[in-house]
Amino acid sequence: MFQNMMDKSVAKSPWLFHVNAGSCNGCDIELVAVLTPRYDAERLGFRLAGSPRQADIVVVSGPVTRQTRDRVIRTIEQVPEPRVVVSIGSCPRSGNVFKGSYAIDGPLEKWVHVDVAVAGCSPKPEAIMAGLAQATEILKQKRKEMRK
The size of the interface with another protein (CB under 8 A), counted in residues, is 40
Q: Which stretch binds another protein (CB under 8 A): 21-29, 65-73, 88-96, 118-126?
A: 65-73
**Residue 18 Cβ, how far from another protein at the closest point, in Å?**
10
**Residue 90 Cβ, how far from another protein at the closest point, in Å?**
23
Q: Please identify which residue in 19, 22, 34, 56 interacts with another protein, judged by CB under 8 A.
A: 56
Task: Strands of 44-83 (E only): list them.
Answer: 47-48, 57-61
**Is it true that the peptide bond before 123 is cis, omega within 30 degrees of 0?**
no
**Residue 22 Cβ, how far from another protein at the closest point, in Å?**
13
82 interacts with another protein by CB under 8 A: yes
Q: Please identify which residue in 25, 29, 32, 66 interacts with another protein, judged by CB under 8 A.
A: 66
Q: Which stretch binds another protein (CB under 8 A): 23-31, 73-81, 91-99, 123-131?
A: 73-81
β-bridge mates for residue 88, sequence order:
61, 118
Q: Which uninterrupted H or E stretch holds 135?
A: helix 125-147
25 interacts with another protein by CB under 8 A: no
Query: What value, to the nearest 5°, has the Cα angle with vertex 126 and ends 125 and 127?
Result: 90
β-bridge mates for residue 84, sequence order:
57
- The answer to whether 147 and 3 are in contact (CB under 8 A) is yes
Q: Please, is 68 exposed, middle or buried when counting C-beta atoms within 10 Å of its C-beta (0-12, 13-18, 19+)? A: buried
Which chain residues interact with another protein by CB under 8 A? 2-3, 5-10, 12-14, 37-38, 40, 42-45, 47-51, 53-54, 56, 66-67, 70, 73-74, 77-78, 80-82, 111, 143, 146-147
